[in-house]
Structure 1
Amino acid sequence: MARATIADVAKLAGVSQATVSRALRGVDRVAPATRRKVEEAAERLSFTLSKSASALASGRTMRIILLCSGGLNEWFNANVLQGVYEVLAPEGYDVCPSFICGRDEMNRYFARLPKDRNADAIIIASFQLDGTQREQLTSIDMPVIGVNIPAESSFDASVCVDNFSGMAKGVCLLKSLGHEHIAFAGDYIPGNMVYSTNQRVEGFLEAAEQNGYDETNASIVVGGEHPESYGKARLAAELVAKMLSSPNRPTGVCVETDQLAIALIKELKRQHLRVPDDISVIGFDDADIAEVADLTTIRQNPLALGRLAARQTLRLLKGETLEEPHESQEPVLVLRDTTGRAPLAEPIG
């Protein structure tokens, strides 16, 4: 059976092919009764207006780029993609996911983007643009929407988790449990990249100061040289070694991500330290693995962030002005088994 054409739909509906095109593209200049007649004819013939034809008529590609840092199969990126797709697909848009893994890839991607111009908008997850990249996007008049970006200045709209509020919740929990010495354990970040997670170390320091900690009892622990060359287990071993050799050994640790927090707990146990009896550990994200590991953590919801970013994208493409272009998600403290009261100091003598 031959595939139905726009001419077949026009003949069955008793209208012109131009009217069929306008009706199926949702153009206003079609009477409601005529639109219904065309839609019924198209349904009877199992006809769908091709996106390429619609794009030629409307000037739109009906494609939205989702650009992530790191693999698309990572917990955060996969959830953002799911949320974006849920909102945009019913509106007829194709979501085109892509990813970069460092500054060089990012520079090449944005240098090529103005020449391609193969999308109507771009959603960027977790990393910040520099001035050159923003100029490249401005030159092609493409709406730019951020998800968990570290700053709002380079984006037409954005949604994010409040990292400062999240870290404040973690520090306050450790304070309430009596921990006098605390630390922040940082995950590896590719050089020359600026991520939203950079705000977590700033949030930790700010919250520590507000809770009466100073630099002697609130420390930052990060990996040494070239941590990109090894995995989370080796990074965790390095971080634990630094904490245990500190003259003010922490009994409570806020960790930049759940994945690193779980690796850290494994290494602490390998060093015969009990979690949370000897040391409390708090992650950030509440990824699926956190519940399995009974990890106390700070929850964010990337699925909801993806949905909201997609709704912002649709409104911008319609030419609407967003009353609140930059929205923030309040994180939630999730108590599980890796936090407890600070251990009692051992008696002297």
Structure 2
Amino acid sequence: MTLADIAAAAGVSTATVSRVMNQKPGVKDSTRAVVMRALQAAGYEQPRQHFSKHVVAVLVPELSNPSFPQFAQELTQVLFAAGYSAIVCPVSQGGYSETQYLDMLLDSDLSGIISVSGASADSLASKAPYHRLQDARMPAVYINGSNESIDAPFFCSSDAAGIRLAVDHLRGLGHSRIGLAVGEPRYLPTSRKIEAFAALGFPEDESVVTTEYTADGGARAGRRLLQSGHTAVICGSDVMALGLMRDAERHGLRAPGDFSVVGYDDSPIMRLTNLTTVRQPVKTISEAAVSTLLRLIGGEEVPIEEQLFNPDLTIRQSTGTAPND
């Protein structure tokens, strides 16, 4: 009996029969059962299930930023609780690029992929690797990286809500000259932070400095903003904020007496610092992303949309009342 004969007997396409025979995801359980009955009637014996049947790849940027290992750890724990193992794939200079990982993973027998802050959030990056995922019907979800050209579920922390929290806090302490230090605007979370900041009445040309999401980037941006008369700075990451504080101390300035600074992410290690920071709801986002991915793996239809999750503000000792003029 040919593949076409089995497909006709099961009432499905030959592609669906092939996916069932190769234990690929993206087929409803009810459809898979019908195909297996047709295969068994034809004398087909199902091979032993590979271990990779219950493995999900988690793609994250470089691990030097503590917020990305936090996502990797939380996603790994949620997947484990659901009976899946995780392969963490860190993208870094000198190592595998995201495109190389995706091309390699497409040839594997993984159940699905979770991309965290990947090239889907980069307006200048090619989306072709993600389109190949779609064409291969590989179940995939994206965290903090929405893009309209990719038909997939997205789960993002609300940058607009985070900026509002930080600004409201600083204004409540009497600050009116507030600056924003962020990464390159080519990245969606950055552009959303800038838009939200400008919408609250701050002049972008005077109060926004774009740089790299690094300690050195935070130091350079903070120095420029503080020297131009800003009394408080909101940084796009905790690493940037710590770099700003360290550089300011070298120049005789300390938070919160001389200026205030707010970070962004609130990764667990920030509990050892005095940094006031916007906390991403990592656990909630991870649970929602994994839940949807498991539905995709099971062959269910899920909404192709972006879900936004509101962050919180963790107040520590890096913010205080505005200094007197």
The Cα shift of 1:311 comes to 1.1
How do residues 95-244 of structure 1 correspond to structure 2 at under 5 angstroms?
95-101=86-92, 105-114=97-106, 116-129=107-120, 130-151=126-147, 153-187=149-183, 194=187, 196-207=189-200, 209=201, 213-215=202-204, 219-223=207-211, 232=215, 234-244=216-226
Q: Is the 8 A contact 1:125 1:149 kept in 2?
A: yes
1:334 aligns with 2:322: no
Q: Which whole-Å CA distance do the structure 1 matches of 2:219 and 2:73 have between them? A: 34
SS in 2 for 1:101: coil
CA–CA separation in structure 2 for the residues paired with 1:304 and 1:79: 13
Q: Matches of 2:265 and 2:297 in 1, distance apart?
A: 31
Mapped to 2, the partners of 1:106 and 1:319 lie a distance apart of: 26
Partner of 1:16: none
* 1:16-27 alignment runs, 5 A limit: none
| SS of aligned partner of 1:169 | helix
Unaligned runs of 5+ in 1: 1-26, 29-51
Give the CA deviation at 1:142: 0.7
Q: Counterpart in 1 of 2:44?
A: none
Q: Provide Cα deviations, 1:164-188, integer angstroms capped at 9, x if missing partner.
A: 110111122222322221111124x
Provide the residue aligned with 1:288 in structure 2: 268
Partner-residue secondary structure (3-state), 2:154 = strand
Per the alignment, residue 92 of structure 1 pairs with 83
Identity score, percent: 25
CA shift at 1:153, angstroms?
Answer: 4.8
Q: Counterparts of 1:113 and 1:324 in 2: how far apart (Å)?
A: 22
Aligned to 1:344: 324
Q: Does the alignment pair 1:256 with 2:239?
A: no
- Return the alpha-carbon distance in structure 1 between the equivalents of residues 207 and 235 of structure 2: 12
Contact (CA 8 Å) 2:177, 2:231: kept in 1 or not? Answer: yes
TM-score, normalising length: structure 1: 0.69
Aligned position for 1:24: none
Give me the whole-angstrom Cα distance separating, in 2, the residues matched to 1:121 and 1:241. 44
> What does residue 67 of structure 1 align with?
59
What are the ranges of 5 or more consecutive residues in structure 2 without an aligned counterpart? 1-28, 31-46, 121-125
Structure 1 residue aligned with 2:33: none
Counterparts of 1:193 and 1:243 in 2: how far apart (Å)? 21
Radius of gyration: which is bigger?
A: 1
Root mean square deviation of aligned Cα: 3.0
